[in-house]
Structure 1
Amino acid sequence: MPVDALDAAILRLLLQQPRTSVREYARILGVARGTLQARLDRLERDGVTTAAGPRVSPAALGHPVLAFVRIEVTQGRLDEVGEALAAVPEIIEAFSTTGGGDLLTRVVARDNTHLEDVVQRLIRLPGVVRTRSEIALRERVAYRVLPLVESVGRAAGDGRAASRPSSAAREPERRPAQAPARGPRAAG
């Protein structure tokens, strides 16, 4: 689905001011509330935006160690291993990939000993051939899509001054919760 200038402006506001009401977004953008709500509904229906929820910090839950674990899987067992990964609570994301391994997981742990226990659990799963772990030392670029949204907006000819909140109104972008992001609350 192509994103036009108004869509890009809406997405920018959703990222910069995630707790703002639909009515306030419409006011900032200078469009009717109904127009904005229709755009939000279409963006959600087309999969551009997804369900909203709070961002939960694994570190604040006592799991400050983050590792990326690549898993090599026996041919033909990828779906089976992928389903088994869902039963491991310390795995907060898993992707099938190309390259050196079949699955890439994001794993959190209380400490390195706990991480080793999680990796050992993964190795014992039927269909897992081997794992390779890399521990994250420091986050250098937090999850973000705002620069991409702004780039898409520029490509769509987004030059409307009304679509850009004042620098005083801007908030830093927040990483979406583990559940996909849905958009603003419908109350206005």
Structure 2
Amino acid sequence: MFSPVQSKPRLDLDSTDHAIIELLQQDGRASVAQLARAISMSPSATADRVRRLTDGGVITGYSVTVDPEALGYTVTAFVRLAYPTGNYKPFHDLADSLPEVIEAHHVTGADCFIIKVLARSMRDLERITGRLATLGGITTNVVYSSPVPSRHITPA
């Protein structure tokens, strides 16, 4: 389910917190013992830091990164949707029913949503965009390549 942006109180992060965040972004499977060795702290103090970062909403989860093509998704596209109403429930319901929709962002400007879609083929992309077009006008951009596919986030 999509939720509106909410302001949370920020944790005060120090260089040790930054190091933990960087290490976990490089290897989310790193054990507490490995993290502790890398930052020169005890495992219990490191576990406390990770717990504080998680409880404070800085670390929001752990995941594995996969190659979409290895799973049969050969086409990546961004679909801009000009949604004509303020009732977003139909959009949320449709996005939830399409596993090929891997990101959706409510944005400013002429379009209401920018949606990242993975498809098995151009025909599959046509099926997906046809479903999205039932909600409003769409513009589709197919990705040729991604020179910067994803970056780790550094503290602001």
2:28, 2:63 within 8 Å by CA — same for their partners in 1?
Answer: no
TM-score, normalising length from structure 1? 0.72
Q: Which of 80, 101, 104 is the equivalent residue of 1:91? A: 101
Counterpart mapping for 1:1-188 below 5 A: 1-124=11-134, 128-146=135-153, 148-149=154-155, 152=156
C-alpha displacement of 1:29 = 1.1
Q: Deviations over 1:23-54 (max 9, x none)?
A: 12112211111111011011111111122122
Task: Compare 19-28 and 64-73 and name the one that shifted more.
Answer: 19-28
Rounded Cα–Cα distance in structure 2 between residues aligned with 1:96 and 1:75: 13
Query: In structure 2, what is the Cα distance between the partners aligned to 1:129 and 1:29?
Result: 51
Give the paired residue count.
146
Task: Give the SS at the match of 1:10.
Answer: helix
Distance in 1 between residues matched to 2:22 and 2:63, nearest whole Å: 18
Q: How far is 1:82 from its partner? A: 2.2
CA contact (8 A) 2:28 2:62 kept: no
Distance in 1 separating the partners of 2:91 and 2:144? 27
Amino acid corresponding to residue 129 of structure 1 in structure 2? G
Instruction: Measure, in 1, the Cα distance between the counterparts of 2:112 and 2:63.
Output: 30
Comparing both chains, which one has the higher relative contact order based on Cα–Cα distances under 8 Å and sequence gaps of 6 or more? 1
Measure the CA separation in 2 of the matches of 1:54 and 1:17: 10
Amino acid at match of 2:138: T
SS in 2 for 1:60: helix
- Structure 2 CA distance for aligned equivalents of residues 130 and 113 of structure 1: 19
Deviation (angstroms), 1:96: 0.9
Consecutive unaligned residues in structure 2, runs of 5 or more: 1-10
Shift of 1:76: 1.8
Hey, what's the Cα distance between the residues in 1 that align with 2:68 and 2:50?
30
Q: Distance in 1 between matches of 2:101 and 2:88?
A: 16
